A and B are shown apart, each in its own frame.
Chain A
Amino acid sequence: DGGITQSPKYLFRKEGQNVTLSCEQNLNHDAMYWYRQDPGQGLRLIYYSQIVNDFQKGDIAEGYSVSREKKESFPLTVTSAQKNPTAFYLCASTPRGTSAYNEQFFGPGTRLTVL
């Protein structure tokens, strides 16, 4: 099956710890995105990558870091510098080309809770 996988589905973190959320896709998509979703709010862009070894900050990148060493993978690290990390995190991907028409395919999400 083609698609996007995120792991783990639930993640608990103690304050002061870094955690890494996994995102893998086998759709051969070039662009990948990380969003954060809080109750009652729209999706907010954290980071995005249009090509391997390149990525750009989104609207709320502070306290987060990413890497894009492989086309299929775009892991997100939530660092201790992120003051309010408890949220639902969604990874998405799109094929390259006619950018604005591309449907964003989303993974199932990871719910991060800071204890």
Chain B
Amino acid sequence: KNQVEQSPQSLIILEGKNCTLQCNYTVSPFSNLRWYKQDTGRGPVSLTIMTFSENTKSNGRYTATLDADTKQSSLHITASQLSDSASYICVVSAGGSYIPTFGRGTSLIVHP
């Protein structure tokens, strides 16, 4: 069964600090991995997409990494801002499937 596990479940940091969120997956055959940001009471919005051949991809202060051998991904947030407070969801798609597998998300709170 395809699964996506995220850690930590929740994280509290001070504004300006960096943080790293983790995602482990057992999805086969692997096609791509996306990180979504979901603000409270809103729909998720895609931050990055990574395919098998990509190791690192950046989107502003967000940097995603992928290790396809160990089936792990991380999302690094640099110089956090209050607006980064949200849930971050790791989503993995299998080749040939219309239906991705969602992680439960990491809830990030940035305090001033």
Residues of A at the B interface (CB closer than 8 Å) are: 4, 31, 40-43, 45, 48, 50, 58, 88, 90, 92, 94, 99-101, 103-104, 106-109, 111
Minimum CB–CB distance from B37 to chain A (whole Å) comes to 11
Given the interface pairs A42-B4, A42-B105, the reply to whether A104 lies near B41 with Cβ below 8 Å is no
What residues on A are CB-neighbors of B9 within 8 Å? 40
Q: With an 8 A cutoff between CB atoms, is B102 at the interface?
A: yes
- With A48-B98, A90-B44, A107-B43 given, name 19 new contacts (CB 8 A): A4-B43, A42-B4, A42-B103, A45-B99, A90-B43, A92-B43, A94-B98, A99-B96, A100-B32, A100-B95, A100-B98, A101-B49, A101-B51, A103-B34, A104-B44, A104-B100, A106-B44, A108-B43, A109-B42
Q: Say yes or no: A103 contacts B98, CB within 8 Å.
A: no
Give me 19 A-to-B residue pairs in the complex whose CB atoms sit less than 8 angstroms apart, sorted by A's number.
A42-B103, A43-B102, A50-B98, A88-B41, A99-B97, A100-B31, A100-B95, A100-B96, A101-B31, A101-B49, A103-B49, A106-B44, A107-B43, A108-B42, A108-B43, A109-B41, A109-B42, A109-B43, A111-B41
Q: How large is the interface on B (under 10, 10 to 19, 20 to 34, 35 or more residues)?
A: 20 to 34
Q: Say yes or no: A100 contacts B93, CB within 8 Å.
A: yes
Minimum CB–CB distance from A42 to chain B (whole Å) comes to 4
